[in-house]
């Protein structure tokens, strides 16, 4: 029995890892092939010539040489989106309700984490510390962010959503938008009263900004150093831990089964002795803590945050969740990775392929174009099942 149990545990951990590998490799390969294919098709065209003039290499070489770095960056941001998307998808799976205030949960996480680090920095605790200590403090900041974000999410459900359960679907949605504005302004108010500023910058410490050299490649005669910032590695590793942990929790624990039962049939779940209100609160808690952690990771990666920091990542993570199939945990992972990569690809290549007509700034539009297309042509998303579905 015990060995059987361990086997299940192992499977529940290995399966999402396998899925991650497949999704990263799959999305990466397809997008790379697409880009290279387009470069080949455009060989000898004006685009090719313009690239030659601007960069001194032909379009194909330019595409190929940049590819590895684009992939690495795409995967990093993709994991950030995936981590946020998990919160949308968990809540949707159980309540069929889109918690638009999840982006502010993310922002609260970012602010609490960054403020903890700023406080540590101001008290001199981050000066010249060994790397192990740096990781310890970062971990502490993430933990604080998770607690704050989780608590906010639970309070939000209790105050703004639970009283509206049973109301028409639009009503809690409007409430969520209200909560979202309220929290944005609450952050703004608190920050401006206590610090006199709207935006905060994460302190520089530890080795997070260092570049790790992954490999040196020679592609068509050009030497390319593949580099990755330490903080990107942290982002990816943390996001993987979150995905695997959540997967395990939902599929293999009693709480997870209760969550899936409530998602599938609330009344019957109640008849099984499950306290439905508590399970729904737990769902918000889990989504909130993941969102809070994602907030700190985002701040670590992009350094600067303001009270509206949640808006774009939140909207994109929501897009990722819809793209993957909202309500589906694996879908959130897939959607996040695909969206992150698509965005990075377009940010890096759009300008070259359109000879400067569309710059990198169009990458944001891409996410929403995808959202609209998915909603029109495949509203159930790529994987299209619910949290209730055993992944």
Q: Does 261 participate in binding other proteins (rule CB under 8 A)?
A: yes
The piece of 36-44, 272-280, 303-311, 367-375 that touches other proteins (CB under 8 A) is 272-280
Q: Choose, by CB under 8 A, the member of 193, 254, 376, 377 that binds other proteins.
A: 254
The piece of 301-309, 329-337, 355-363, 381-389 that touches other proteins (CB under 8 A) is 381-389
50 versus 277: smaller Cβ distance to other proteins: 277
36 versus 274: smaller Cβ distance to other proteins: 274
Helices 2-41 & 230-252 angle (0-180, nearest 10): 130
Q: Does 274 participate in binding other proteins (rule CB under 8 A)?
A: yes
Q: Choose, by CB under 8 A, the member of 40, 167, 219, 272 that binds other proteins.
A: 272
Sign for the CA dihedral angle at 61, 62, 66, 71 comes to negative
Spell out, one character per residue from 333 to 372, where the chain touches other proteins: x when CB under 8 A holds, - when not.
----------------------------------------
Q: Choose, by CB under 8 A, the member of 49, 135, 188, 264 that binds other proteins.
A: 264
**Token pair 């997967």 in the structure block, residue:** 247
Strands 304-305, 200-201: pairing is antiparallel
| β partners of residue 304 | 201
> What's the gap between Cα 97 and its chain centre?
19
Q: Does 265 participate in binding other proteins (rule CB under 8 A)?
A: yes
Q: Choose, by CB under 8 A, the member of 54, 253, 275, 354 that binds other proteins.
A: 275
Gap between the Cα atoms of 329 and 389, Å rounded:
9
| Shortest distance, position 88 Cβ to other proteins, whole Å | 20
The piece of 51-59, 150-158, 176-184, 258-266 that touches other proteins (CB under 8 A) is 258-266
Q: Does 223 participate in binding other proteins (rule CB under 8 A)?
A: no
Q: Whose CA is closest to 362, among 377, 349, 372?
A: 349
Q: Does 166 participate in binding other proteins (rule CB under 8 A)?
A: no
Q: Give SS3 for 229.
A: strand
Phi/psi at 346 (nearest 5 deg)? Answer: -70, -35
Q: Choose, by CB under 8 A, the member of 269, 320, 323, 371 that binds other proteins.
A: 269
Gap between the Cα atoms of 247 and 210, Å rounded:
32
Gap between the Cα atoms of 302 and 296, Å rounded:
10
Q: Choose, by CB under 8 A, the member of 170, 267, 357, 376 that binds other proteins.
A: 267
93 versus 291: smaller Cβ distance to other proteins: 93
Q: Whose CA is closest to 149, among 294, 358, 333, 354?
A: 294
Q: Alpha helix locations (H) across 96-225?
A: 102-122, 131-156, 170-195
Contact assessment for residue 247 and residue 12, using Cβ atoms and an 8 Å cutoff:
yes
Q: Does 376 participate in binding other proteins (rule CB under 8 A)?
A: no
Chain residues binding other proteins by CB under 8 A are 254, 257-258, 260-261, 264-265, 267-276, 385-386, 388-390
């Amino acid at each position: 029995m015990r060995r059987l149990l361990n086997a299940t545990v192992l499977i529940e951990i290995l399966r999402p890892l396998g899925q991650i590998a497949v999704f990263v490799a799959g999305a990466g390969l397809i997008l790379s092939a697409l880009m290279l294919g387009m470069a080949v098709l455009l060989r000898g065209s004006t685009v090719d010539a313009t690239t030659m003039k601007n960069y001194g290499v032909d379009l194909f070489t330019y595409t190929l040489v940049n590819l590895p770095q684009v992939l690495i960056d795409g995967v990093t941001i993709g994991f950030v989106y995936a981590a946020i998307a998990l919160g949308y998808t968990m809540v949707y799976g159980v309540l069929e309700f889109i918690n638009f205030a999840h982006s502010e949960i993310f922002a609260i996480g970012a602010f609490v984490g960054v403020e903890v680090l700023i406080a540590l920095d101001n008290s001199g605790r981050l000066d010249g510390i060994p790397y192990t200590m740096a990781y310890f403090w970062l971990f502490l900041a993430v933990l604080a962010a998770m607690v704050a974000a989780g608590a906010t999410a639970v309070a939000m459900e209790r105050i703004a959503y639970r009283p509206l359960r049973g109301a028409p679907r639009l009503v809690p949605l409007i409430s969520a938008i209200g909560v979202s504005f309220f929290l944005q302004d609450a952050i703004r108010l608190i920050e401006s009263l206590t610090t006199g500023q709207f935006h905060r910058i994460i302190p520089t410490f530890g080795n997070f900004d260092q570049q790790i050299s992954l490999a040196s490649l020679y592609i068509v005669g050009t030497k390319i150093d593949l580099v990755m910032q330490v903080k990107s590695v942290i982002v990816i590793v943390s996001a993987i831990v979150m995905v695997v942990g959540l997967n395990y929790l939902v599929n293999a624990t009693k709480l997870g089964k209760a969550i899936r039962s409530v998602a599938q049939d609330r009344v019957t779940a109640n008849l099984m002795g499950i306290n439905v209100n508590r399970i729904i609160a737990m769902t918000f808690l889990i989504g909130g803590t993941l969102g809070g952690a994602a907030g700190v990771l985002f701040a670590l990666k992009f350094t600067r945050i303001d009270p509206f920091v949640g808006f774009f990542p939140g909207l994109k993570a929501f897009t990722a969740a819809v793209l993957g199939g909202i309500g589906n945990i694996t879908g959130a992972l897939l959607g996040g990775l695909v969206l992150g990569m698509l965005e990075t690809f377009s940010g890096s290549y759009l300008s070259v392929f359109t000879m400067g007509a569309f710059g990198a700034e169009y990458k944001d539009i891409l996410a929403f174009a995808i959202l609209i297309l998915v909603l029109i042509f495949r509203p159930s998303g790529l994987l299209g099942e619910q949290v209730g579905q055993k992944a």
